[in-house]
Structure 1
């Protein structure tokens, strides 16, 4: 009976001893530690985890398992370590404090895996490993924050929490950086309580007391990770470059604070000797030189290909326009390499892409235009720079340009709602515009054209007014785009042989003959635009699959007006939900602007006055003048007059049976 009691007391005493231990140096402890790899205890009691061997691992564990009670896990440990690099400013890998269910690490790897895992085991939930790493190499594969950090690892080298090595100085009340591989001894405290479930990590130089603030504090439920029986200890490893890693002392306790180490009893560190054999140094220098030459060749090849890819035309005369010029690289990045996914549309002069300029984080639209000649390019760029000064609420802002090879790139502000024609003509389920929105858009475009024709410092001809060139901002306000650019594209050509620029159906009859655009030809296109918006139809073409012949919107509108049924041409999708007087005003003004004689068309100032109600739109008479010789598909042609800024007047017209609009456009 006495023997049984003695055995129970002995077992109980052994269990108590295994809940805490302390090593003030490891003198005589080589048989009291489980070590493998290149780990060894030096004669003075210093535990050397690694030497200057490369690609090696080491492990040192307390030989007996510690027991954790379920949901009652707590522990406290502290140890003193030092890392001495073989080559100054070049570090091997670090030291890891580990709580593990096993001491068998035969399948682990050195270098980035620090003797703890391999590629197939890193991250497995079955590892049941809790670790605190002191890492001196940044490994991108595991998202290391830098090459000098402390991290908390759960089953993986991807830390659940990490911080650059530092300690809080209570005297100076600031955080101070620590260099883990400085060769100087440092102390680590790791603590976990069963109540608050916080894993706290503190580091400081050996000459400092324990700081009052933790470096890391992470809330973790270790009951779901740690098993009943676990081992505690250290792992370490070297890579292509190595460190000597040392543990000078270690204390552990599961029932309260770990016992303080007696710093006076800790074994001293070897003197730091950065030694590289001459042969190794020669090999290192040669390899480094070869590597540098290889890198230089790669960089030169990349630089050459980069120059070819992003090469731009930049001539001395362009220096004065530098503030208006964007680099091709910026535009390439902004549009994601001009991907089709960023394509906004394709027009007569090129493709348009959306993008975000990285330098200013601004959305833009980039138009790519081909040009085959340098003739007139200086004047072209000068005019672009001039047009950048245009400022009007109903104009799309031209921001600048870029020239590259046989290409010109124009940069505009981005309009999120796209072009008006998609709302008028697309049958893909896009919602139709209500009448009030259409009327506001018409007034906005008229205001923009008045600004271009009369209110800016120069006269700017648009030459391509149509629904597809009217863009809508975030508030569905009209912004006239591509202003002035149709005219600019003609710098390459002799004025006497300039091709007619514009879109079929919008080109004034006189332009086909004289090839000289004017503000009146812009008014003509504006008239067709008014019919587009009011009728919801394109100027010409088959309006449905059942139509046998081409349809001409202007002829139909005139015929309906002549029969006194002008509202018959209104857009059927509106279903009569419009102001009849406003609709009649828009349709009749459209016919007035489409007068085949340029001199008889209203100016944009008159058009704005009619739209604002500050002048009364005259009636369209139907008399026919057989001597005029002007035809407009049974439309009109005669002289008349328009109101001044404060009055009204009347017009006279004539009709005919032929169509110059059809023949001339």
Structure 2
């Protein structure tokens, strides 16, 4: 063989190798598949991390946190000469764990976005994608498929177990309860997203027809022929030339964990199959299975059980009477907001005085820890006022409880027992603001802390009056109703006197309620609460926080000293001194 022939063959081999590597690189830029994430280069933030077995854990159960995981390099979403955006296909396997499937944290989303930095987004119902003021903004530039385990009225969710197609915000373009269509019968089969069973999702976008299809199915099942839901939306008007693909998840007040087991993506090509045999195992959650020893002991214990059955029946009857509740058919509409009395009884150790946080005009408040979720709560016992219908009262309290804002004390739910209504609130470790103003054992608040608390209450009041779906009048803004969380943020609480009505509607005349010293003067003539009367109470609240004095005080001569007069007197002295 001649040296020239050998040299030519070497050059041809070199060219073939270079061509193959070039083609392989193009493929990597448009397609990938991960059957587990061991050794995979992902961009992670928040609480997201990859477990040693290759399981991607987006959230770890910690309350009110978020996690993101993105493919590290962007994909080109440049439009073709005819103006259409490229097609893409996604397949992934996920699982969500909650202690109770119907009382769960928030969900998981697959996202295609112009950025992979969502540090300005908020957790809880915002799913780590938006914050409380940019929902629906066209500058968000993202497309997402949400697997939502919580019902949020502000985003018009259909239930607490749904799949939705989102564009630039969390009000879905289209949504459906979780499930799939049987190929043979065509029947719809429900699936529970928070069942802690691995499920697979297919997301497909056709750039020519602008059709979006989303399909859901259990693991180890072929993709159903009929999608769970579809939507027509031109994503070329939403997404930029370069996009990132990944996942976002968040937690709220209730325990939840979100996992991704495998992921496949293709741009202008199908998503490659995921090898389900290689997927990482989900960690064990919940109580361990019972020991086999119990199967042997139980038959032996049967004889003893027969002897004491009468005693057990008596104990059960006593227990039922002890935890008896009042339930009516109309309460079904309030769903998971209802707590069991026995859970609240155990949480507060039988409403023990050692757990008593405070006593007010509307009842006693106890600190408690829910037995299942271990969530710290404040439990308020109220004797029902028969002048107002209990149905209307519960409806308003639960409606207000759906309002979520960083400067509100969150209402988790309620319970009814005989002539008593019990409300369950988020626990505030630093108690009420009035203790920091008047209790000498508490540290004195600095000006920066006072200003921060006032701004927080103002933000919450603005949301109540103007930014929610309805106008909410609090009617009792004062320091004892402003609670402080572990970071000394001011949270508006005690919505027991609150009323709500539609925007643009004149509120109905009602009897005067509130606290003397914080009531607007015009209420003596009109008997009508309005946003302006709340603003007056807020003004008195601001003076009280700044001056550290109550609106009305008794002097040494047993006279009443008005805070407003006291401030005006100082102001007049100051202006007189300046003018002199």
Q: TM-score, normalised by structure 2?
A: 0.48
Q: Which has the higher contact order (CA 8 A, sep 6+)?
A: 2
The structure with the larger Rg is 1
More strand by share: 2
- Normalising by structure 1, we get a TM-score of 0.42
